[in-house]
Chains A and B, each alone.
Chain A
Amino acid sequence: MSRQTKAFVKGVKVSERHGAGEWTAERLSSLILIPLVLWGLWGAATVAGAGYDGARTWVASPVNAALLAATLLISLWHANMGLKVIVDDYIHRPSSRSLLLGFIAVLCLVLAAASVFFIVRLALGSAPLPAGIGA
């Protein structure tokens, strides 16, 4: 988009690039996380003190497994966006900023992949790791 482009909605200047998309994504993820985090607190209270069998039984429920995966994936997406804002605010050297943002993005992706991997195994009632790997 050209530098001269000025976008206005109801007389208010809005982003000419992707800023509005990030803003919307932050709000959308926040809205979805409100019920999910309250559900997560309830789930944590259920699992607390329930031991290994209690935890496995809880995650083995398809509803719990699906909601837990959604909560973690949307949380990590939201966290990645939020941490990016913090880094953009305080780290001014472009090379340091890129490096840190890359590290945060990779960490969030690894945590998301690990979460889904563990949840799927627990939901399917797989044998304890590493027994299932390669078998």
Chain B
Amino acid sequence: MTHPNPTSGDARDDQTGRFVTQPNGHVRPLSPHLQIWRYHLTMAGSILNRIAAGALSFGALFVVAWLGAAALGPDAYAGFVAAMGSPLGLLIWFGVTLAAAYHLTAGVRHLIWDTGAGLTPKTATTLTLVSMVAAILLAVGFWIYLFASGKVSL
């Protein structure tokens, strides 16, 4: 960057969209968008974590719908279970489980980083790989248990 310390003049004349003027008048570089990044595992882990967050917000609707169905009585609950027990319904819940598992493990990884630990490139990559593998094991293990115990079937 040719402007290590950009002034507000730079932001005003900026044709590239790299700078943004904060409400307090400070000029800060805009955080780079997805297409700026060269692939590395921590970058993929970060983007996937944000996708998982969005998926979980969507999943919250289904959890509240489950509570609503239970509160509406046996007929409503039977209809909800029939819809959620369909292949599409099970796929949605598997997605919610996977998103929850990854948001959990990636969140723990982030909390470790927040203490200032594990931030060297090698350790950060290892932590990201561990969070991904642990999330898949947790989600898949959960569903193997559900099917093996007969609680869920196709």
Contacts and interface: CB of A to CB of B under 8 A. Distances in A.
B150 A111 contact: no
B13 interface: no
A31 B112 CA distance: 11
A114 B104 contact: no
Contacts of A111: 60-61, 64
Contacts of B78: 52
Interface in A1-49: 3, 16-17, 27, 30-31, 33-34, 37-38, 40-41, 45, 48-49
Given A115-B64, A122-B70, A3 B108 contact: no
B29 to A, nearest CB: 13
Interface residues of B, number: 40
Interface residues of A, number: 41
Interface in B116-154: 138, 142, 145-146, 150-152
Given A41-B142, A52-B78, A59 B60 contact: no
Interface in B1-38: 20, 24-25, 31
Interface of B: 20, 24-25, 31, 50, 53-54, 56-57, 60-61, 63-64, 66-68, 70-74, 76-78, 81, 97, 100, 104, 107-108, 110-111, 114, 138, 142, 145-146, 150-152
